[in-house]
Amino acid sequence: MQVTMTVNGTEYTREIEGRMLLVHFLRDVLALTGTHWGCDTSNCGVCVVWMDGEPVKSCTVLAAMAGGHEVRTVEGLANGAELDPIQEGFRQCHGLQCGFCTPGMLMTCRALLDKNPDPTEGEIREAISGQICRCTGYSSIIRSVRWAAVHEAAAVATEEAVQA
């Protein structure tokens, strides 16, 4: 069957099997290997991408289901060489060690900040509760998200001051 979807702003049309999972479509067909593939059972969360602005576990979504929808992956976070604040936060606060969970964590945490620009530690823990990190013990991930929240708020304040 044929599927057409938009991934990180670019429209792709490909011939696929109906049973192909979105994670394999992204990695094997589009060669966007930033999205990782982990437990295969929607438990670990390394495969989280956005579909129409909402985080989903792409190992449990058919590529065909994403047809006609907008997908955003970790490759779509940075603006050229400029990292998204959530990526910068992970870099500044050591939000990763091995990096395997990081793409999924970044996509979930970006979605959280878009909805809730000033999340508490509890809200961050709840948001990433469907994802597993075996390195950090989560504390540095939480610091990374807070770093991004604080710096985004500061950037908005500066912009408003300049405009005033």
Partner 1 sequence: MQVPAPFEYERATSVDQAIGLLERLGSSARLVAGGHSLLPMMKLRLANFEYLIDINDLHAELGYIRLSDDEVRIGAMTRHRELLESDVLAGVFPIFRDAEKVIADPIVRNRGTLGGSLCQADPSEDLSAVCTTLDASCVIRGPGGSERVVTMEEFHVGPYETAVADNEILTEVRIPRKTFRVGSAYAKVERRAGDWAVVSAGAAVWLDQGRIVDARVGLAAVGPNTTGIPEISAALRGHEPDESLFELAGAIAARSCEPVTDTRGSADYKRHLADELTRRTLRKAVERARS
- In the complex, which residues of this chain contact partner 1 (CB under 8 A)? 1, 17-21, 24, 40-42, 45, 48, 54-57, 60-62, 64-65, 67, 108, 126-127, 129-131
H or E segment at 13? Answer: strand 10-15
Residue with smaller CB distance to partner 1, 54 or 160: 54
Smallest separation (angstroms) from partner 1 to the CB of 146: 18
Residue with smaller CB distance to partner 1, 62 or 83: 62
| Other Cβ atoms closer than 10 A to 5 | 23
Smallest separation (angstroms) from partner 1 to the CB of 108: 7
3-state secondary structure 104-139: HHHHHHHHHHHHCCCCCHHHHHHHCCCCCCCCCCCH
Rounded-to-10 torsion of CA 115, 118, 123, 124:
90
Three-state secondary-structure class, residue 48: strand
Residue with smaller CB distance to partner 1, 1 or 155: 1
Residue with smaller CB distance to partner 1, 17 or 118: 17
Smallest separation (angstroms) from partner 1 to the CB of 94: 24
Smallest separation (angstroms) from partner 1 to the CB of 59: 8
Smallest separation (angstroms) from partner 1 to the CB of 17: 7
Residue with smaller CB distance to partner 1, 88 or 136: 136
Interhelix angle 85-92/139-163, rounded to 10 degrees, is: 130
| Other Cβ atoms closer than 10 A to 9 | 9
